[in-house]
Chains A and B, each alone.
Chain A
Amino acid sequence: MQFMLLFSRQGKLRLQKWYVPLSDKEKKKITRELVQTVLARKPKMCSFLEWRDLKVVYKRYASLYFCCAIENQDNELITLEIIHRYVELLDKYFGSVCELDIIFNFEKAYFILDEFLLGGEAQDTSKKNVLKAIEQADLLQECRREPPLTVCFLSAQLTTEKPL
């Protein structure tokens, strides 16, 4: 995957993750033009775009567009499912997620994305594992004042719960 963008129906960027090194200028240009192109498409149209020299897969959930640019040989349909899985994860974490959740807690959305997609590759297909990794870090927030030893222990203990 080359990058992932989340933007609203009004064209406001909500999240951006780039897996290829590009300059700020290029990023802004791509974002601006791609957002325009995607927003101009009608709801019944195909979710795949051959845009410039990129292969773009997008999907709209309520007021948010999720948009991924993928490599040429990548599978378009599985990319749609990656988007869907990410939405499922957000939904599970925030509890029926809405755009506002992502606006106000965008750093959380980033953490979930990083746990799911590492370096542009789907890392773990198990929903439980991803959320566990996030929650275990969140938990630390609450017991911040615990001595470091406990923190270390806590995290170890949480990961042992994993099956396999």
Chain B
Amino acid sequence: MSDVVEKTLSALPSLLSLDSQAGAGKLSPSSKLGNLIKGITELTSKHEEEKLIKKELESIKEQVASPNTTMRQMKEIMVRAIYCEMLGYQASFSYIHAIKLAQQGSVLEKRVGYLAVSLFLNETDEFLLLLVNTVLKDLQSTNLIEVCMALTVVSQMFPKDMIPAILPVVEEKLTHPKEIIRRKAVLALYKFYLIAPNQVQHIHSKFRKALCDKDPGVMTASLHIYLQLIKENPESYKDLTGSMVTILRQVVGGKLPLDFNYHSVPAPWLQIQLLRILAYLGKEDQGTSEMMYDVLEESLRRAEMNHNITYAILFECVKTIYTVHPKSQLLEKAAECIGNFVLSPKINLKYLGLKALTYVVQQDANLALPHQMTIIECLDHSDVIIKRETLELLFRITNAQNVTVIVEKMLEFLRLTCDDYSTIDLVGKVAELAEKYAPDNVWFIQTMNSVFSLGGDVMQPDIPNNFLRLLAEGVDNVEDRQLRLFAVDSYVSLLQGVTAKLPQRFLQVISWVLGEYSYLREEESDPGSVMRLLARLLDQRHTSTETRSWVLGAMTKLCSSPVSVALARDVCERYSGSLNTVLRQKAQELMILSQDTKLRARVLPAEGRLESLEVDSSLSFLDGYVSEALAAGAAPYKSPHQRQEDLVQEKALSLEPYGLSLPVSLSSCSITDRLTDRRSPTLLSMSSGLSGNSTELSHQEGSTTLKLEGVKRVWGKDGYLAQQQSAGETPTPLVELPNPLLSPQSPPSQTQKPSSGLEPDQEKRQLASSLFVGLGSHNSVCLMGRAETAPRHFRRKPRGESSSGASEGSSNSSHSSRSAAVDNLLLSNLLDSTTVASEGGAATTTTPQQTSQRTLDHTTSNGNPHVEGTEQRVEAGGPLSLIRGNGMVAVVPPTHTQTDPQTQQDLHPAPALERPRDLPLASHLPAELSGLARSEFTPLCSDQDSSLALSACRVYKEDALVLLVFISNNNDSALHQMVLQLTCKELEISCISGSPLKEVKGHSVSVCLHTVVMKRASVQVELAGLLSYQRPLGQPQAAQFSLSLSLKHFLRPLTVSTGDYGKMWLSFSHDLKQNLRLVTTEHQEPLTATLDALKGKLHLHVVDIIGSEGIVACRLLQGPGQGQPCLLHCRVNADSLAVWLRSPVPELPDSLLYHCQKALTET
């Protein structure tokens, strides 16, 4: 294009701008849309509007269907259709026409078409597939506007499976001369990265180029990708710290073009993005953090102007300062900043200040002290959101001294709120505080009563569960008796009042407690009174069926006196005819037990009910009955989930069944160790109401913890706290701490100079002193650990302690008897290899990289041989079966010092070298697992003096991944009150044995077994673990660790015939194609070599190889049952392998492909 033409045309816009500016075609009431809108505003009722829109939609439908409608008219129609959809009326018939408009219209019509598509359709909509070609065409268009539109729609929504189709073209745009195109292309790739990270893996180097782009807009866009990448894996991007710091320094220093200023602040969006990236990079990394101290200080200093945008930067800056490795000078400034926020008259800033305090006080509760009066004022704030945030803050600073006041405040709030979400959250918090810090029985029971009546039926089910457990546990001493008696008394008086308003859950709790412990008060009152109260409850209409069954259960325990028996008979007569089978059964039980005193005494021993009953979980006493029935031709028992699964399989696809023998399924339906089961004669129905398993608990606990990531761990023992202490030793302390023992008469010094200038009244002062009591009295170290000074009685106890002894004992004994031989074998092998490895280590000094490389080699060469069915074993042949034949499986770790390369980065700094070598963990493998393939032992964490060390090992079972956590106690003293919790959102974790450990004796090792399957296929997941324990005479302690598990640990071969494979192939909907690298070896065909490599590393099953094509199948352990299949079809294409994956699960092909790529590049 010549310059002359360009100049001529450049005059054009100014000519046209008269019309186009200030809203081209502002209000066009004459248009059809205008008429429609006006028509609607004139209507008075919703009904009329419905009629009008219906008519409108009819006419739109007619017009879009007509072949005479031009694209220009179509554009106008589309706008009307969008309007109707916005009003909430479906116009789904127009979706296809929106796509057509985007396809065939001119630039402007296209724009409306794309807009309509992006508003109408979802990422998962099948219609979107029709858009792919249009997008592709527009991306390649020479018209910049078309390219822009295509990139815009692509970065809003695009079908994941179709990304490969347009990826090369979008990639190409990264080098486009126009910055707007480059910027949009980067954002489109960001979107691709979010929905399918594996597909853009190969262009990471291009992201770096975008980061170095001369245009700040493109650079800013690339930071979105980097934020995501660094968040996921900060280690790999530490080298970028310098660049990020430089960029931030330039931005803060005003080096960017003025165009990027926003209210005269240079590129605030960019600054915030950079601050967030720095936070991830500097987290738990002193070296990296030191690089950014200067620029962070400068950011704090520069952001002075009194405008929202500077506050936004300040807030982000404070967050970063508290996340990276602490520096006292910066922390002081940040704390000052938070103070300014809290004291600000602007309500938004006040809210953010409180929020910041909430996460800061966890580290140093003294930071809340200067703001006591503000906090008190916020407690009575008219805005619920502020109030709620203040309570959150108070929750974090609760201790045994201020618990009553804080809980009272929370209950006050609860009484006023009607929002389910905050009710659930707060009720959980109150229950937690009550259990932890309750000062006495009366208060505890009263508080829990409020919790139950306020929490109603929305609260987490484990709150009543824990409460009942707490009541039931504990030795039968005077204190426990008093607690129970008080509970019974308070419930009796509650039932004497109006019960209509009590929630069902509360009534269930009441009936259980009354049934169990009424005998405690029996001597002093008339025996039938409790029975009568319960009977009255039964009669009330609002009582639900479930509650009724609880009441009947309680009555069964109570019907000892003649009065009660008569009452019971009455009740039975009414309910033995009930339509509900559970109620009918309960009524029958009540009938029989109330009449037969002897039987009742045996089933429900009045005094003995405090001792836990031995439960024969295998139901062995029924063996005779079962075998008789089987002999008579009955069908073998199937557990409910197995039945469910069979149903599913009948409907969907028939995987080859794994012959589960009868004994297995019998034991799998064992009765769990739930509280109610042990005590109530009606086992299963009762437990349904109270069931709360450990995952629920951990979920609930997780939700109460801090949402801001990573603040917690920065504050190690040698972190800021230490610095502050050392600062405190110097003559001029940084912060003047208030008198440790605050009394109501002498509020802390800070309260005497309230910033608001108003003299706070006496009442508020008193409230302040009662709220903040105890904050100054402990040093912050103690507060951090939330030292529990409450009586032991109220502490949350480990779940199901009582049953663990039995199961652990049995597994131990069977282990020692059966597997002694294997153990010896493993032991000697271990010792051998240890010496070899240590010799090797002495001879050559290896760098960490080499070491990890070596570990990798070990894993690959020794393989993770997998035990399959016999059929599979024959097929596998070769070295695998040789290993198995020896009865020696598994990798024996050369030394404990090596870590799995995958988990390496997540490990806490574990003093691995100090690990005791005299405790070969292999000997602690349970016998039933020692024959299976397993991984090496991965050290998880250990405490300073290595008196406690945790290690993990994965055992690849056919139907699950078994995760073993070894707890080695290397000290003389035993560990008590051990609770191990594993949490991961993406995994389904269930404990097999050993989790309620209770204790580990001195110099011994305990093992916890968990089976783990995936909920949702993902490339890699992080498992977080928390072990809490207590040494005799010591404080409760906790050890945290994390472990990454990759998809390949959950893969198992899927043995199918070629015919079945073909059938399955056609029935699966989610597929993915990609070219992979071929492995070449000297003595094998490339295809065979590649498939063998995949088989070895990922446990795939090679179904068949036909010429240049191979078919492979595997399944992922996901959810209950056998897992989800994934089929691979591979074809050799010149020098690459075209792989086509299919699966019924959408995420599986994607994640599997990632591992295939990785496996092949490693080879």
Whether the pair B312, A46 counts as a contact (CB closer than 8 A) is no
Write out the residue numbers on chain B whose beta carbons fall within 8 Å of the beta carbon of A105.
23, 25-27
B242 within 8 A of A: no
Determine whether the beta carbon of A104 is less than 8 Å from that of B34: yes
- In the complex, which residues of chain A have a beta carbon less than 8 angstroms from the beta carbon of B312? 75-78, 80-81
B86 in complex: contacting residue of A16, A50, A144, CB < 8 Å: A16
Contact of A151 among B82, B143, B217 (CB under 8 A): B143
CB 8 Å contact bits of B997-1014 with A (1 = contact, 0 = none): 000000000000000000
Question: Which residues of the other chain, A, contact B260 by a CB distance below 8 angstroms?
Answer: 125-126
Chain B residues within an 8 Å CB radius of A15: 86
Complex interface: chain B residues within 8 A of A50 (CB) = 385, 388
Q: Are B221 and A123 in contact (CB under 8 A)?
A: yes
Q: Decide: B316 and A140 in contact? CB cutoff 8 A.
A: no
Given known contacts A44-B347, A140-B108, A156 and B23 CB-to-CB distance under 8 angstroms: no
Query: Among A49, A118, A139, A155, which residue has the most Cβ atoms of chain B within 10 A?
Result: A118
B350 to chain A: closest residue by CB: A46
Q: Which residues of B contact A45 (CB under 8 A)?
A: 347, 382-383, 385
A163 to B588, CA, bound (A): 87
- For this complex, into which size category does the number of interface residues on chain B fall? 35 or more
Do residues A155 and B86 form an inter-chain contact, with CB atoms below 8 A?
Answer: no
Contact A73 B276 (CB under 8 A): yes
Does B168 make an interface contact (CB < 8 A)?
A: no
B124 touches A21 (CB 8 A): yes
CA distance A148 to B184 in the complex (A): 23
CB-defined A-B contacts under 8 Å, sample of 15: A17-B119, A42-B382, A44-B347, A84-B308, A101-B27, A107-B112, A123-B187, A126-B217, A135-B13, A135-B17, A159-B178, A159-B180, A163-B257, A164-B179, A164-B214
Q: Is A86's CB within 8 Å of the partner chain B? A: no
- Number of A positions contacting B (CB below 8 A): 83
Binary interface profile of A, 124-160, with partner B (CB < 8 Å = 1, else 0)? 1110110001011111111110001011111111110
CB atoms of B16 and A143 under 8 A apart? yes
Chain A residues with CB under 8 Å of B86's CB are 13-16, 106
9 nearest A-B pairs in the assembled complex, by CB-CB distance: A77-B312, A95-B22, A94-B23, A78-B312, A119-B155, A21-B123, A45-B383, A126-B259, A155-B144
Does residue B1070 face the partner (Cβ distance < 8 Å to A)? no
Contacts of A72 in B (CB 8 A): 707
Proximity bits, A22-60, B CB within 8 Å = 1, else 0: 111000100000000000011011111111110000000
Instruction: Tell me whether A103 and B37 are in contact in the complex, defined as CB-CB below 8 angstroms, given that A53-B421, A124-B183 are known contacts.
Output: yes
Given contacts A75-B316, A133-B148, A141-B108, is CB(A48)–CB(B385) below 8 Å? yes
Give the interface of A toward B (CB within 8 A).
13-17, 19, 21-24, 28, 41-42, 44-53, 72-73, 75-78, 80-81, 84-85, 93-95, 100-101, 103-108, 110-111, 114-115, 118-119, 121-126, 128-129, 133, 135-144, 148, 150-159, 162-164
With A and B bound together, what is the CA distance between A101 and B221 in angstroms?
Answer: 31
Report the separation of the CA atoms of residues A66 and B145 in the bound assembly, to the nearest whole angstrom.
28
B709 cross-chain contacts in A, Cβ below 8 A: 73
Closest to A141 in B: B108
Residue in A104, A138, A157 whose CB lies within 8 Å of B33: A104
A48–B347 CA distance with the chains assembled, in angstroms: 10
A52 to B316: give the CA distance in the assembly, Å: 24
Pairwise interchain contact B386-A104, C-beta atoms closer than 8 A:
no
The answer to whether B309 touches A78 (Cβ under 8 A) is yes
Docked pose: A78 CA to B303 CA in angstroms: 14
Interface residues of B in 4-18 (CB under 8 A from A): 5-6, 9-10, 12-13, 16-17
CB-CB < 8 A to B1033: which residues of A? Answer: none
0/1 string, B116-133, CB within 8 A of A gives 1: 001100111000000000
Q: A45-B385, A78-B268 are in contact. Are A129 and B259 (CB under 8 A)?
A: yes
Q: B348 on the interface (CB 8 Å rule)? A: yes
Whether B180 and A133, one on each chain, are in contact in the complex, defined by CB atoms closer than 8 angstroms, is yes
Report the separation of the CA atoms of residues A150 and B1021 in the bound assembly, to the nearest whole angstrom: 53
- Bound CA span A154–B312, Å: 39
Q: Is B59 an interface residue (CB 8 A)?
A: no
CA distance A19 to B444 in the complex (A): 46
What residues of chain B lie closer than 8 Å to A164, measured between beta carbons? 179, 214-217, 257, 259
Measured between C-beta atoms, what is the minimum distance from B863 to chain A in Å?
41
Instruction: Kindly list 16 other residue pairs between chains A and B, CB separation below 8 angstroms, not including A95-B21, A129-B259, A164-B216.
Output: A16-B86, A42-B382, A44-B382, A77-B308, A77-B348, A77-B352, A95-B23, A107-B112, A114-B118, A121-B221, A123-B187, A125-B260, A126-B260, A139-B20, A151-B145, A156-B1
Query: Which of A48, A81, A135 lies in contact with B351, CB distance below 8 A?
Result: A48
Q: State the CA gap A101–B179 with chains docked (Å).
A: 31
Contact for A152 among B79, B108, B142, B156, CB less than 8 A = B142
Contact check, B37 vs A110: say whether CB atoms are below 8 A apart: no
Within the complex, the shortest CB–CB distance from B307 to chain A, in Å, comes to 9
| Residue from B88, B115, B311 within 8 A of A28 (CB atoms) | B88
Q: Are B13's CB and A158's CB within 8 A?
A: yes
Interface hits, B327-350 → A, CB 8 Å:
347-348, 350
Q: Measured between C-beta atoms, what is the minimum distance from A57 to chain B in Å?
A: 9
Q: How far apart are A93's CB and chain B's nearest CB, in angstroms?
A: 7
CB distance from B410 to the nearest CB of A (A): 16
User: Residue on B with the closest CB to A153?
Assistant: B1
- Shortest Cβ distance from A10 into chain B, in angstroms? 11
Given contacts A44-B347, A164-B179, is CB(A100)–CB(B27) below 8 Å? Answer: yes
In the assembled complex, which residues on chain A have CB atoms less than 8 Å from the CB atom of B179? 162, 164
B139-154: CB near A (< 8 Å → 1, else 0) gives: 0001111001000100
- Given the known interface contacts A48-B348, A75-B316, the answer about A154 and B269 at a Cβ–Cβ threshold of 8 Å is no
Q: Quick one: given A13-B87, A114-B115, are A125 and B10 in contact (CB under 8 Å)?
A: no
**Residue on B with the closest CB to A90?**
B23
User: Of all chain A residues, which has the CB nearest B141?
Assistant: A152
Known A28-B88, A49-B385, A85-B262: A123·B183 in contact at CB below 8 Å:
yes
B267 lies within 8 A of chain A by Cβ: yes
Task: Tell me how far the C-beta of B1078 lies from the nearest C-beta in chain A, rounded to whole angstroms.
Answer: 37
- Nearest Cβ distance between residue B15 and chain A, in whole angstroms? 9
* Least Cβ–Cβ distance between A29 and chain B, in angstroms: 11
Assess the A76–B9 pair: CB atoms within 8 A: no
B178 touches A77 (CB 8 A): no
Q: In the assembled complex, which residues on chain B have CB atoms less than 8 Å from the CB atom of A95?
A: 21-23
Of chain A, the residue at the smallest CB distance from B87 is: A13
Contact mask for chain B residues 73-112; partner A; CB cutoff 8 A; 1 contact, 0 none:
0000001001100111010000000000000001110011
Contact of B224 with A by CB under 8 A:
yes
Decide if A148 touches B143 in the complex (CB within 8 Å).
yes
Report chain A residues within 8 Å CB of B470.
none
Q: Which residue of A lies closest to B180 (CB)?
A: A159
Minimum Cβ distance to chain A for residue B169 (Å): 18
| Residue in contact with A77 in the complex, picked from B1, B9, B259, B311, CB distance below 8 Å | B311
B924 CB within 8 Å of chain A: no
Contact check, A80 vs B12: say whether CB atoms are below 8 A apart. no
CB-contact partner of B16 in A42, A84, A142, A151, under 8 A: A142
- Bound together, the chains give a CA A93 to CA B297 distance in angstroms of 39
Name the B residues within 8 Å of A14 (CB-CB): 86
| Chain B, Cβ-Cβ closest to A121 | B224
B28 within 8 A of A: yes
Return the chain A residue nearest B707 by Cβ: A72
CA distance A111 to B110 in the complex (A): 12
Closest-CB distance, B1094 to chain A (whole angstroms): 33
In the bound complex, CA of A97 to CA of B83 (Å) = 20
